[in-house]
Amino acid sequence: MPISRLPMLGRRFLMLGGAAAFSATGLRPVPAVARAADSAVSGGSTIRLIARPGRAALAGPPHSEPETTVWGYDGRVPGPEIRVRQGERLRVVLENRLPEETTIHWHGLRVPNAMDGVPHLTQPPIAPGESFAYEFDATDAGTYWYHPHVRSFEQVERGLYGPLVIEERELPRTIDRDVTWVLDDWRLLEDAQIAGGFGNAMEAGMTGRVGNTVTVNGRVTDGGFAVRSGERLRLRLVNAANARIFGLVFEGHEPVVVALDGQPVTPHAPEDGRVVVGPGMRVDLVLDMTGRPGARARVLDTYYAKLEYRLLEIAYGAEPLRDRPPTAPIPTLPANPVPEPNLARAERHAVVLGGGMMNHLEGALVDGRWLDAREMMRRGLIWTVNGTAAAPGVHVHEPLAVLRRGASYLLEIRNETAWPHPMHLHGHSFRVIARNGVPTRHREWQDTVLIPRRESVEIAFVADNPGDWMFHCHVLEHQAAGMMGLVRVA
């Protein structure tokens, strides 16, 4: 539903490849090839990253590649996959060679506040030509990612993001291959360049910026994702899109969810066989390759009704790895040292998400001042958290709540808007304990929770990480249009 409300993108967005391949909204239903990010860098020593313009092969044929101008870490999309072992210390020096300020936020990692990468709040923004050294311990194993927190709606959209994998101290033994798919979508013009209009207010009040070209690890091609019969894969999905929600179906296969947002979960089949990944979120799957040599199977994205498309094709090689996938049960990953909230003693807080198109908003508090809806609109503000809208680009706010360090909290987040919101809390992982008042089956740990329109969730966590932490929607246009606040742990 949300995508069909997008204004028509117009013909210039629909020119890549055969016209039949496009829906009226400019969604581009094309196959993509997947390759693991081809440049893992590992910890132990200092990792150097340069944020700079570069060129990438996003559009695929018939464009000669690579020709899309992007901003990327080391000029590439996605940026290098950072891989370290749990317990190691990670030191990353970022050099800014962009034409504007930037930072890196380590999405999902429970880092010390000063390393969180939020401009003005936790560090001065890194000016063009300057560098900043990030250093912290890799406490929790799992799948994470990194991206800027300065004008994210444009910087992430131009390609600044990369996967970060923290390996378990002991790797799960029955896994044959560990693969990362970073999912993103782009709005490309017919010359394969990224369309402007970042943070467009009209879109910001609805779905956010949804693109017309979907990539896996920065590629769209007709090649398949190569596998072998009998293999058992661990597939790490990262949604780096500004606004697109993915709902992946692996035809003929039975993916098992083993981790969400980096944190282990009781292995289980996804609801309705569909793996839903909202912006900012990660899902780790174990996938048994049960097909025959030479077989092909489609991976479809069916999240938006009537806008299904084939994301890519799984292509079995001629040589099987073994006769059938391992019969050993799918391993439960070892728990991370996340403190368990005490629900009996947890203090309850309500968080209400408001605003957006299709809702009547009278106004909101902005920087402590009441602005009516008209005045808000003039400043590009459309969304609220507890009646407050965060001024664009400003990360320093009066806290929504001040939490006592070490105490347990239960937040009931009510989405009173007509759009889904993936809400992200920095510095902590929380348990999702209920949806619409009904206890969740897996009490999953997350750092980003997708809340459908007009629904509610309850999350619980121990406020054990001191500092000021952002709490915002990860639809980056929503974040920029006010849906952000700050939680202080003191």
Query: Whose CA is closest to 241, among 476, 28, 449, 6?
Result: 476
Q: Site for Cu ion (CB under 5 A): which residue of 52, 228, 421, 431? A: 421
In the chain, count H helices and then E strands: 4, 34
Which one of the spans 55-63, 85-93, 342-350, 478-486 is the region binding Cu ion (CB under 5 A)? 478-486
Query: Whose CA is closest to 474, among 36, 74, 8, 108?
Result: 108
Q: Site for ligand C2O (CB under 6 A): which residue of 63, 107, 232, 244? A: 107
Kindly write down the DSSP assignment for every residue of 120-160, as one continuous string: TTTB--B-TT-EEEEEEE--S-EEEEEE--SSHHHHTTTT-
**Residue 472 Cβ vs ligand C2O, minimum distance, rounded to whole Å:** 6
Which one of the spans 3-11, 81-89, 361-369, 474-482 is the region binding Cu ion (CB under 5 A)? 474-482
DSSP 334: P
451 binds Cu ion (CB under 5 A): no
Q: Give 289 or 489: the residue with its C-beta nearer to ligand C2O.
A: 489
With CB under 5 to 8 Å by kind, the binding choice for 107 among Cu ion, ligand C2O, none is: ligand C2O
3-state secondary structure 56-91: ECCCCCCCCCCCEEEEEECCECCCCEEEEECCCEEE
475 binds Cu ion (CB under 5 A): yes
With CB under 5 to 8 Å by kind, the binding choice for 280 among Cu ion, ligand C2O, none is: ligand C2O
Query: Measured over all CA atoms, what is the biggest interatomic distance in the chain, rounded to whole angstroms?
Result: 67
With CB under 5 to 8 Å by kind, the binding choice for 472 among Cu ion, ligand C2O, none is: ligand C2O
Instruction: Tell me which residues in 370-429 interact with ligand C2O (CB under 6 A).
Output: 424, 426
With CB under 5 to 8 Å by kind, the binding choice for 234 among ligand C2O, Cu ion, none is: none
Kindly write down the DSSP assignment for every residue of 431-459, as one continuous string: EEEEETTEEPSS--EESEEEE-TT-EEEE
Query: Whose CA is closest to 105, among 488, 447, 455, 450?
Result: 447
User: Count of residues binding Cu ion (CB under 5 A)?
Assistant: 4
Q: Give 71 or 153: the residue with its C-beta nearer to Cu ion.
A: 153
Query: 490 with 402: CB under 8 angstroms?
Result: yes
Return d(Cα 74, Cα 56) in angstroms, integer.
12
Query: 472 with 486: CB under 8 angstroms?
Result: no
With CB under 5 to 8 Å by kind, the binding choice for 105 among Cu ion, ligand C2O, none is: ligand C2O
282 binds Cu ion (CB under 5 A): no
Task: Dihedral sign for Cα 214, 218, 223, 224, please.
Answer: negative
Task: Dihedral sign for Cα 297, 279, 205, 218, please.
Answer: negative
Task: Dihedral sign for Cα 47, 111, 240, 383, please.
Answer: negative
472 binds ligand C2O (CB under 6 A): yes
Which one of the spans 89-97, 353-361, 392-400, 468-476 is the region binding ligand C2O (CB under 6 A)? 468-476
Q: Give 63 or 424: the residue with its C-beta nearer to ligand C2O.
A: 424
**Residue 474 Cβ vs Cu ion, minimum distance, rounded to whole Å:** 7
How far CA 218 is from CA of 11, 38, 104, 297, 318, in Å, comes to 24, 11, 19, 21, 27
With CB under 5 to 8 Å by kind, the binding choice for 58 among Cu ion, ligand C2O, none is: none
Q: Site for ligand C2O (CB under 6 A): which residue of 54, 79, 205, 280? A: 280
473 binds Cu ion (CB under 5 A): yes
Q: Give 104 or 382: the residue with its C-beta nearer to Cu ion.
A: 382
**Residue 411 Cβ vs Cu ion, minimum distance, rounded to whole Å:** 16
Q: Site for ligand C2O (CB under 6 A): which residue of 149, 151, 253, 421? A: 149
User: Count of residues binding ligand C2O (CB under 6 A)?
Assistant: 10
**Residue 323 Cβ vs ligand C2O, minimum distance, rounded to whole Å:** 42
Burial of 77 (0-12, 13-18, 19+ CB in 10 A): buried
Instruction: Tell me which residues in 34-73 interact with ligand C2O (CB under 6 A).
Output: none
105 binds ligand C2O (CB under 6 A): yes
478 binds ligand C2O (CB under 6 A): no
**Residue 183 Cβ vs Cu ion, minimum distance, rounded to whole Å:** 18
Tokens 């709902």 locate to 247
Residue ranges binding ligand C2O (CB under 6 A): 105, 107, 147, 149, 280, 424, 426, 470, 472, 474
Residue ranges binding Cu ion (CB under 5 A): 421, 473, 475, 478
